[in-house]
Amino acid sequence: MARGTKARTRANLTAYGFSAPYVVLLLAFGILPTAYAIYESFADLQGGRRGFDLSNYVAVLSDFRFWPAVGNVMTFMVIWIPIMLGGSLLFALLLHERVGRASGALRLIYFLPGAVTGSAAVLLWYFMLQPDLSPFAPLLHAMGWHNTNDVFTNAHLPFIFATIAFMTGVGSWIVIMFGALQAIDLDVIEAARVDGAGPIRIAMSIKLPLIGKYIVYMLILCFAGAVQIFVEPSLFYGITQAGSNWWSLNQLGYVFAFQQGQFGQAATVSVILLVVSTVVALLFVQRSRFFQTEAD
């Protein structure tokens, strides 16, 4: 009995030991900064003393740049998320339907564009979309784009950012969705084939429902990533002057903090993003019963 107790204690200590670094980092770079941002968003410096009111929220929500930035982010989101979701699932389903020697090579090919991310991806796509330099110049000219000003306009920016985000992120999600599909019991798929179901019917009625929680997980992370878009619009504005330095909400927060010195208003933007992302994630989790298991 004592030996069993010691073994459980040792196992618990091992688990705590592995978890401790994550908990420390979560507190240091997650929970504490979030708590401070919430405090800062409600704090107002008045007469040399700290006040506590909603003035930062009023100032941010009434700022002439806030709602246009919201519209830009929502436009980008409406374009990117369906393309990312549909593209990832389509390619993952195709790979799963034709598992073989070529499957690993295809996964590598799909994943390779994700090796170029952030500022490098922005610079790469800037040259790809530059009519004077792009290898696709004839196609760009056929579309009526003959110079930089024709390509990098405010109306085109959401589509450009969606293309960059798709190419840099789709490979990772294909691998994740393919792994989820690999976990499906082959007997279930074989039974459906015996009953006469074709590949499309199997995909729609069996495969996608069985990986529904992975799809919800993807939607949550894609939504959180979309509302935080920052690198692409910032760099494109710096290179081409397309858009503005407050095109996205994260850019607006940066402007508040480092160009206007309004750190309380910058914290307010971050808190608004946090609340929106959390509410949307909770809705997805609740609607999909994300944490429900078969035992429940």
Q: What does the chain look like in DSSP terms, one character per residue?
A: -HHHHHHHHHHHHHHHHHHHHHHHHHIIIIIHHHHHHHHHHHEEEETTEEEESSHHHHHHHTSTTHHHHHHHHHHHHHHHHHHHHHHHHHHHHHHHHT-SHHHHHHHHHHHGGGGS-HHHHHHHHHHHT-TTT-TTHHHHHHTT--SHHHHS-TTTHHHHHHHHHHHHHHHHHHHHHHHHHHTS-HHHHHHHHHTT--HHHHIIIIIHHHTHHHHHHHHHHHHHHHHT--HHHHHHHHHH--S-TTSSHHHHHHHHHHTS--HHHHHHHHHHHHHHHHHHHHHHHHHHTTT--TT-
pLDDT (0 to 100) of residue 3:
61
pTM of the model: 0.85
**b/e map 216-239, b = 16+ CB within 10 Å:** bbbbbebbbbbbbbebbbbbbbee
Residue-wise pLDDT tens digits, 151-194: 888 889 999 999 999 988 888 898 889 889 988 888 888 888 88
Distances from the Cα of 46 to the Cαs of 12, 53, 59, 67, in angstroms? 50, 11, 15, 27
Structure tokens at 26: 């979560």
- Per-residue pLDDT for the chain (296 aa), expressed as one digit of tens each? 456 677 777 878 888 888 889 999 999 998 999 999 998 888 765 544 456 778 899 999 999 999 999 999 999 999 999 999 999 999 889 888 776 666 666 667 777 776 777 778 888 888 888 888 888 888 888 888 888 888 888 889 999 999 999 988 888 898 889 889 988 888 888 888 888 888 888 888 889 998 988 999 999 999 999 999 998 899 888 888 888 899 999 999 999 999 998 898 999 999 999 999 999 989 988 887 777 665 55
Q: Which residues contact 131 (CB under 8 A, 6 or more apart)?
A: 137, 140, 141, 145, 146, 147, 148, 150, 151
Q: Which residue has the tokens 């992120």?
A: 169
pLDDT at 10: 80
- Give me the pLDDT at residue 119, please: 79
* pLDDT at residue number 7: 73
Collect all residues with Cβ–Cβ distance below 8 Å to 154 and sequence separation of at least 6.
242, 243
Q: What is the model's pLDDT at position 1? A: 46
Tokens, residue 72: 């830009």
Cα 78 to Cα 158: distance, rounded to the nearest angstrom: 9
